[in-house]
Structure 1
């Protein structure tokens, strides 16, 4: 069921939700959180589609905030709230409210969202594209226990990671980090087996790909070795190599779907490592609302190491670009192909 409300208020929207639920016989119980999506008209469709898919695992009240401040002084001075209430099959397993805030009201979105939050339930705020510089201090961000950004959707992905490190607050996360969960799990499982001393590592992926940068940072931080960042043609993250005294451990995914894992002394095997849809990433983030300490440690470790890599398609030289972690520790020289001095290794799994 769909109800359109023009020049309305939060109170009328709540009444519309109750009316819609009664009309289709859907109870309010069962929704576990409120998901606030701050986007624009261009990104609203894709974001809502992903949120509805994720709501099949996490029944939610979805609030879409679309700001329309206007261009002329007269438009900016006026204030109006239009809403679209959707309940039933079109809203996944929860309910959806699309909020279009006009004029001065666009600068006070939190005053509209606050009365619409589910009582006694956590709130999550997601910026699918451009996010505020400091999401923890943003008025919408203050309402949420979890704040989700996406570094791959901005013009300067590596710069956005640096900004996230500088402004980090417990509850912040980024979908660029979420995309790495299968990679980190596979590498940790490979290192749980018997292996020689790890001396260095390399990470290959598209230029300006934030997930590639984060994986290199994570390896450098957890293993304590020098990690070389190489630029490939993609798609996305393509390969990780860990150099050990027994041979190379390699996880190679050239096509974005199927990867090959090579471990010294074992037969090569293929593993499913497909690039996941946004809905799967959001569903994963909604499973845990506590602070992600590994993400925090990774981005803060990289604050002094992140440097934009070369142009897309250009192959990196052995010592450049020094992006995510060409230095495993401050002051260490960049690793050379054959003469880099090995450093001691630590377990790579999340402890």
Structure 2
């Protein structure tokens, strides 16, 4: 069910949500969080699709904030339009698409605040055009977790360094989330091999932010210098850990399969696919506390208690 509201207010949107739930007989009590997506018109569809698929695991109220530019003659016009979706139109929750014009765009937090689910955590996701300091952004201040994506910027390694300077607990990035299968496999490989790592290398396409985060994480955890090796890609293609007994290698030149090689053991084939955005978002929503390992990867420094 869709309800379109033109030149509206937050109170009218809340009323439309209640009316929509009554019409389809769906309560709001099953929703566990509020997800706020801040994006542009071009990327709104893909972001909404990913959030909708993730909502089947994490039923949520999704608020999509799209800041629109009024025509030149109407540049002083301040307006809020909304599209309320409930039922099958909104996945396993409910969705409100907010299009702001004029002065309202500069105060989107005042529109979003009355629409947050009471006593439920808030997650803000910027698929593109994330602020330099997400934790200080007016919408970021409302959230327990703030999700950005270094794959959406032109100079990811420069932005990565800037994020390290402005990091606050609760920040995370999908470039880090994409590494979860790699980190799990590397940890499992080291548990099996039980050897001391003396050198390391990460192979990836040039300027890949996930590869840089992985290299910094390995440096902090293994206390060795990690070489950055440029490959043809796509994304991260291999990790090589040197030991006195031979190399530990995870190699994925292309496709969904990788080869794991351990000293003294035959190579094994493992599943290591490139995951869609919906799976990345669903993973991030499973835990809403601060991601300490992301902070380690971002800054390249080991946690004080484990250093």
Whether the TM-score (by the shorter chain) exceeds 0.5 is yes
Whether the 8 Å CA contact 2:21–2:86 is kept in 1: the answer is yes
Give the Cα–Cα distance (whole angstroms) in 2 for the partners of residues 62 and 68 of structure 1.
19
Displacement of 1:196: 3.2
* SS of alignment partner, residue 287 of structure 1: coil
Aligned position for 1:325: none
**Gap regions ≥5 residues in structure 1:** 303-345
Aligned: 1:4 with 2:11: no
Give the Cα–Cα distance (whole angstroms) in 2 for the partners of residues 15 and 60 of structure 1.
18
Aligned position for 2:162: 163
What does the per-residue CA deviation read over 1:32-85, in whole Å, with 9 as the maximum and x for residues that have no partner?
00000000000000000000000000000000000013352x533220000000
Aligned residue pairs: how many?
A: 304
1:92-103 equivalent positions in 2, closer than 5 A = 92-103=91-102
Aligned position for 2:49: 49
Whether the 8 Å CA contact 1:57–1:283 is kept in 2: the answer is yes
Aligned position for 1:185: 184
Whether the 8 Å CA contact 1:207–1:232 is kept in 2: the answer is yes
1:193-342 equivalent positions in 2, closer than 5 A = 193-301=192-300
* SS of alignment partner, residue 248 of structure 2: strand
Give the Cα–Cα distance (whole angstroms) in 2 for the partners of residues 5 and 294 of structure 1.
43
Give the Cα–Cα distance (whole angstroms) in 2 for the partners of residues 224 and 131 of structure 1.
32
Whether the 8 Å CA contact 2:8–2:79 is kept in 1: the answer is yes
Whether the 8 Å CA contact 1:151–1:175 is kept in 2: the answer is yes
What does the per-residue CA deviation read over 1:172-204, in whole Å, with 9 as the maximum and x for residues that have no partner?
000000000000000000001234331100000
Runs in 1 of length 4+ with deviation above 6 angstroms?
A: none
Q: Under a length normalisation based on structure 1, what TM-score does the superposition of the two structures give?
A: 0.85
Higher percent of residues as helix:
2
Q: Under a length normalisation based on structure 2, what TM-score does the superposition of the two structures give?
A: 0.97
Whether the 8 Å CA contact 1:124–1:147 is kept in 2: the answer is yes
Give the Cα–Cα distance (whole angstroms) in 1 for the partners of residues 136 and 195 of structure 2.
46
Displacement of 1:265: 1.2
Aligned position for 2:27: 27
